[in-house]
Amino acid sequence: MSGAPVGQTITGTTGVAETIGRRRWLVVALLFIATTVNYIDRTMLGLLKPELSQELGWSENDYGNIVTAFQFAYAFGFLFMGWLIDKVGPRVGYTIAIAIWTIGHVAHGFASSILAFISARAVLGVGEAGHFPSVVRASSEWFPQKERAYAIGWVNSATTIGVILTAPTLWLCMEVIGLGWRETFICTGLFGVVLATIWWWVYTSPRQNLRVTADELAWIEHDPPESTQQIKWGALVTKREAWAFASAKFLTDPVWFLMLFWLPSYFSSTYDIDLKVVLLPMIAMYLLSDVGSIVGGWLSSRLIQRGNSVNFSRKITMICAGACVLPLLFVSGLENMWLAVFLIGLALAGHQAFSTNLLALPPDMFPKRAVGSVIGLGGFMGGIGGMIMAKSTGLVLDATGGDYSIIFAVCTSVYFIAVLTIQILSPRLAKADI
């Protein structure tokens, strides 16, 4: 069970003692590293926005169009990548995804026009769309239901580690080594090359891994057995359970994208600091979000282990997570930067706690063979929502002279709407009839 020391004998909900090995946590470590690289590549443009806007003459709407291109490609890429990962498995599918997003990342170093940046972001978006379907599919292969949210929470926490490490990566490349922004994009592409190589070499399913003990394999597979028959898209998209997940992604993913792509610009314009040089605010905010990711996964897993239903455990945790985002209402106009850092960090923690539990829902409601496709559908909807948010944010900021009040107010409401939507479409989080 989650939280037990590695190798310790523990008692499951059946009352039968089970010896738990540790090989599955190596998979978590590998996915943690992969997520870190994914978010370094995704975040670099946001931190470089003030410099590139000045050098290349971008308006807020121009940048909004570039972000929208990423969101568009990311959204539609999810549909393909989710299907691909279910078809060929996470080992092959994720290797392909890493290769595509690395090509897109490096292409930023050769871009000059808005169209060139849009193209580079589109390739990056298609590749990165394969990340979370791979994470959740691999987690569903290696972890039983009662432990899965905790594992996903640790992996999801790496999104913020990636964001935190982007600033020192840029500082090292540009300030210490003396590279320009173009060379920095090209050199950091090596992260993706190394990652793809390690993933291909290390990852297997539990039954193919010779280092998984019989006891650990029994623990991983102790959930009820599932059919291996392939599920077609036509059957999947008719299920209310799939749309419960997808609707929540549509509503909440845009908040994370907003923070990812506009937060550096917000601090630059409001407090006259450069987050790729002044690292402490970014570190503080995203460490808080890391805590939210891990605690959110731990809380719902703990509630399940204490005998509560999966339905109650996931939903009550998501409601509490949404409440943590409410302080975002008071950020706009704050003169004290560190108070703003704390409130934004608390909101990010709430989002990550919510996201961790949301990502645990597809394996709760669908068999493993459909998880990648369901994540793909949700990612598609999240990308569409993010695209709407990106375009709207650029227009609102241009119209209001950079006032974020309306944008932050919208962000605080979507989590409660998302839980209500899930409750309407899947009131018990029961397995889909498929």
Instruction: List pLDDT tens digits, range 381-398.
Output: 998 888 788 778 878 888
Whether 85 and 94 have beta carbons less than 8 Å apart is answered as yes
- For residues 137-141, give the mean pLDDT: 89
CA distance 226 to 96: 27
CA distance 342 to 415: 20
pTM of the model: 0.76
Please identify which residue in the block is written with the tokens 């998880």: 371
- Residue-level pLDDT at 230: 67
Reported as a pLDDT band with limits 50, 70 and 90, residue 409 is very high
- For residues 142-146, give the mean pLDDT: 85
Helix axes 114-128, 23-56, angle to 10 degrees: 170
- Residue-level pLDDT at 10: 39
The helix (H) or strand (E) run that includes residue 9 is strand 9-11
Whether 389 and 404 have beta carbons less than 8 Å apart is answered as no
Domains of the chain, each with CATH number or no CATH: 22-221+231-425 (1.20.1250.20)
- Residue-level pLDDT at 91: 93
Three-state DSSP class for residue 424: helix
Q: What is the pLDDT of residues 41-84, one digit of tens each?
A: 998 998 898 888 888 888 878 888 898 888 889 889 988 998 89
- State the Cα angle at 302 between 421 and 370, rounded to 5°: 50
Reported as a pLDDT band with limits 50, 70 and 90, residue 244 is very high
- Residue-level pLDDT at 228: 58
Mean confidence (pLDDT) of the chain: 87
CA distance 398 to 147: 46
Range ranked top by mean pLDDT from 15-24, 171-180, 389-398? 171-180
CA distance 171 to 274: 11
Which is higher by pLDDT, 9 or 346? Answer: 346
Over 70: is that where the pLDDT of 339 sits? yes
Please identify which residue in the block is written with the tokens 């994914």: 38
